[in-house]
Structure 1
């Protein structure tokens, strides 16, 4: 399959991530580039809420459920805004500055999109990683059960709740495009990484630098210049839900900055901004709750800065301001308490946060300084701009919140990657499973903002130097009409800066991340999750096995993907199952004894098993979870071989009729 063949799926993914939220964003008064940046955020919120509501009322999951909810919420928002009087937009619909943000997004989309296409290789490739067993099968589970609620998807493996925002989005892409699950996955991730992420970053940077064309272009380039995100999230894990939630995070932070009145280019009055923030938060929370906790942590420096700045003003006008000071202090304390409670609750079970530290604190700081997290090569150009931006921000007290955001991201990475296991490390980072990769991916959120400030300052200084040179040139040397001040030189300098950063930012960490991630999507004779031979058997399975058949398969060797890739149901959908039964264990351990052991036949009939997949002993992550009941079945006389490619085999079970 070629990428041109995947165009309908890519367009469907774009429609899913843009369509639902566009009407709502417009209804609440969003205009200019904010309309572009906030639409995916609101779309994901509508999708996750529609998934829960549709499951609750018994409505089959489809784009219709999302459309109806979008229509109702948008209608209510429009009615309320008309009743209260629509606030005057700070920027008009046709404001040409919105085009700068769009052009910056397109610039980044070209770079990131090319990288992701290189990583995926083919539109129907799959990530050969541990977590992808769950992700792919969860999408099939949604399509089969017609439910995408975060309270039902986990039922596939017997857990009561799983944040299924990403899975719901991909399921809609698959439904709309009528394409396979792998194609829908790659198409959706392409749109998330190449469009949603840079647009979100540009919107955050506009809160500091405004909507100039240079700032928008540089922000887009910076979003493409970090090896830790977005590419690392389609490599390690694989952490697709984090890819979606982190891509939305900068836009959510931008709303928080506007709510605190720290933005140089606000799109909403504070009250309306708060409403939009509340509408957007569910999307991030149910894409992955840990990213909502990152939002609280990253916004905390800005909240404290505003509070203490206000407190100084209150002290100057104490008799008139004491009630206000007391009220806001109480609100802050209540918010801090609620945040701490959420910080302690919104985390996985302690036994799941098992990842150890990987380096010393000095090593962690060195990686951060060079943007070389997780052993990636240094991103020299990007790191230089981040360093320059940090110095500039520290010289401007009104922007200290941006430095605080970066400091918070760095502190969390240092803690997870270098602190000793214990209560302090668990308190700070167990929300992210104590996993260094997940927190390394959060650093670019703040890094893009600070790095763009640095790049913008350098570009403007270069433009000023050229402009000054142009102004100092003798009139005769400038030619006819030269008495009018020229701006051609600075424009060319800005363009040259953009081109230079576009090229240089792709060296080092980004190239390494792309090359490393590409190996995770290669299908070969020894691929870690599913080999080429095993894929061939799954392809044969679609013709040889009835669609409603149940298959015995060891999930650790990749055969559980018969569900996602061949639409045939295995007895276990993932390697971790809270709903595994004694019958499942009997079949995996003793199926070959079906001719002599009546308990085996009881298990076969209880599970309605009629076929067997044997993908050998190679397991994901070099695991060892043998299924002796499936070994050498052709020697037992209880099966008929239907397909064989290498060591991968498909059998029909003849015993226990």
Structure 2
């Protein structure tokens, strides 16, 4: 645990980046409870970081704290001007959550719980993710540090030679800001993971629950804690992928919903509404540059709200106004469908694997993607649905139905063309789609527990102690049933995702040690080739020295392809490719690879001790560094 103690300043810095840039804007909001202000600060901060990453290269600034401060100052000045010009008195907030400390207690418990789980799962801040996409994301942070450019328009790491290439870089921009204090890319990534999950996810759930259910303060307190029971997200994203950009995008979806609802509240002055709209745009921008699929998911979940509000306008309007409103809604839906189709990145790599009965059952218990089924969340969601149906809050139920429909399409729909149309935005990946169920499922479960709390209070007042004890015992047993899923996720984190020993499926301690020793051999212009699937590509993230293959996939050119196939042969074609690229060294980390499907692509980068053009210059265990000496 000593390593984690040393990372405490970096964690505090990460939390500061997630709150401070947007805090002045959040403080300018009027008529909202404290937890919503905190949520607005977080959402605005990430929107500011995203905007700064785009604007910094435009104005000629290297990426770092300065662009973030610059954008934050401009945004704060605008927010302050809107706040000072608004002279209308603010009515006392009707939200009972603002007068109850419960929500803050729930946030504190959730924060500490997530920190403990992640610290136990990762074991050490220096343990890298050993999953397929971890290679890209760790190297992308180093790419930003090298280039001094975090723009999503300039992420050309896997497309060398291009001047522009879009990739959502909010995650990598945030992590790169932590590297100077954390001491390295791996530690900064792990610290950012803890900050994003432990802070943003509980705050997002509490804020959405507060905004939509202001008369249920107990629900806002329980929503962050109930998040532990949903296995697929966020821990599932660390055990599948690893899906860092999807993680930061998805945790923001509840904030997208909450900010839009606040901006659409009735009876606001133009200054107050403008400020809330700007906050919503900042949150949406941050979500889009976290991952565009997250923003599209949030927009899809807002469709029932938009239809409900439009229906209310239509009912009160003249015939002409009705036609206009209906036409506008139709155009908006058509536009959404066009964008949805344009954003489709379907690969057919993941196909449906379940029957409709299995899929519906998983939704009913809020335990999707074959995870261990807990017995608490599902019944609580059912109680929450019953509560809202009695009060005819149909748009919330409609929004939850949208997430259910998307999940059923991903997990079961056998018509692949239709399935890909609906969930191709998420690469047809059921795991990514399943996370949407939590956006409304957990607030509904929180409403359910608040209703159960009312029932318990009634039992207490009526002194029906036998029934009271039975109900509490049943709740405790049902809650305990979710511990199996938590244990499974924790074991996978420790035994696979962040395992760092000689049995790791990616990088081993010997290989990381070779990276450190390679500093003595590699010069500033060195270029190293190795099979990225063995972890060799992480030389870039660990040392900053260029590698030919920073990720498994990419457009590296024909010379790189020649090396991947034939470096071990040392033939004339290999030497010609080496000269054209300027390759100086090679590494061989054996045959353990992350992802078997791509093995033959890099077959020529194995058994390099047989190559006539390589000379061994250093070794740690089975990890070997070679210098290219035989191409004269």
Structure 1-normalised TM-score? 0.88
Rg bigger for which structure? Answer: 1
> Which position in structure 1 is the counterpart of 2:343?
346
CA deviation profile, 1:213-251 (whole Å, cap 9, x unmatched): 533321221222211111101110111111111111112
Distance 1:186 1:622, change over 3 A: same
Counterparts of 1:444 and 1:79 in 2: how far apart (Å)?
Answer: 37
> Which position in structure 2 is the counterpart of 1:200?
204
Asked if structure 2 preserves the Cα contact closer than 8 Å seen for 1:47 and 1:169, the reply is yes
Deviation at 1:99, TM superposition (A): 4.3
* Unaligned stretches of 5+ residues in structure 2: none
Counterparts of 1:191 and 1:528 in 2: how far apart (Å)?
Answer: 26
2:170 to 165, 169, 175: 165
Deviation at 1:24, TM superposition (A): 2.5
1:301 aligns with 2:304: yes
Counterparts of 1:406 and 1:271 in 2: how far apart (Å)?
Answer: 28
> Which position in structure 2 is the counterpart of 1:379?
374
The 10-residue stretch of structure 1 (535-544 or 90-99) with the greater mean CA deviation from structure 2: 90-99
Asked if structure 1 preserves the Cα contact closer than 8 Å seen for 2:27 and 2:37, the reply is yes
CA deviation profile, 1:590-645 (whole Å, cap 9, x unmatched): 33454x62x44333233222211011222212232254544444445533323323
CA deviation profile, 1:92-131 (whole Å, cap 9, x unmatched): 9999637443222111112222222222121111111111
Asked if structure 2 preserves the Cα contact closer than 8 Å seen for 1:221 and 1:502, the reply is no
Counterparts of 2:184 and 2:134 in 1: how far apart (Å)?
Answer: 15
> Which position in structure 2 is the counterpart of 1:532?
509
Distance 1:127 1:631, change over 3 A: closer
Counterparts of 2:100 and 2:157 in 1: how far apart (Å)?
Answer: 44
Secondary structure of 1:366 counterpart: helix
Distance 1:629 1:510, change over 3 A: closer
Distance 1:331 1:276, change over 3 A: farther
Asked if structure 1 preserves the Cα contact closer than 8 Å seen for 2:26 and 2:38, the reply is no
Asked if structure 1 preserves the Cα contact closer than 8 Å seen for 2:185 and 2:541, the reply is yes
Distance 1:334 1:550, change over 3 A: same
Asked if structure 1 preserves the Cα contact closer than 8 Å seen for 2:568 and 2:604, the reply is yes
1:67 aligns with 2:69: yes
CA deviation profile, 1:341-371 (whole Å, cap 9, x unmatched): 22112232x4x35311111111111111122
Structure 2-normalised TM-score? 0.91
CA deviation profile, 1:74-97 (whole Å, cap 9, x unmatched): 112322443454773754999963
CA deviation profile, 1:508-548 (whole Å, cap 9, x unmatched): 33332222233211112232222333223223223442344
Counterparts of 2:474 and 2:413 in 1: how far apart (Å)?
Answer: 39
Asked if structure 1 preserves the Cα contact closer than 8 Å seen for 2:375 and 2:482, the reply is no
Asked if structure 1 preserves the Cα contact closer than 8 Å seen for 2:103 and 2:220, the reply is yes
Asked if structure 2 preserves the Cα contact closer than 8 Å seen for 1:260 and 1:303, the reply is no
Structure 2 matches for 1:414-563, cutoff 5 A? 414-469=408-463, 500=476, 504=480, 506-519=482-495, 520-563=497-540
Deviation at 1:391, TM superposition (A): 1.7
Structure 2 matches for 1:168-247, cutoff 5 A? 168-175=173-180, 177-210=181-214, 214-247=218-251
Asked if structure 2 preserves the Cα contact closer than 8 Å seen for 1:127 and 1:235, the reply is no
> Which position in structure 1 is the counterpart of 2:292?
289
1:326 to 319, 323, 327: 323
Deviation at 1:556, TM superposition (A): 2.3
Deviation at 1:132, TM superposition (A): 0.8
1:336 aligns with 2:337: no
The 10-residue stretch of structure 1 (639-648 or 287-296) with the greater mean CA deviation from structure 2: 639-648
CA-atom RMSD, angstroms? 3.0
Asked if structure 2 preserves the Cα contact closer than 8 Å seen for 1:97 and 1:213, the reply is no
Counterparts of 2:459 and 2:601 in 1: how far apart (Å)?
Answer: 69
Secondary structure of 1:643 counterpart: strand
Structure 2 matches for 1:584-595, cutoff 5 A? 584-594=560-570
1:127 to 113, 124, 129: 129
Secondary structure of 1:357 counterpart: coil
Asked if structure 1 preserves the Cα contact closer than 8 Å seen for 2:376 and 2:478, the reply is no
CA deviation profile, 1:160-187 (whole Å, cap 9, x unmatched): 1101111111111223x15211111111
Counterparts of 1:501 and 1:16 in 2: how far apart (Å)?
Answer: 39
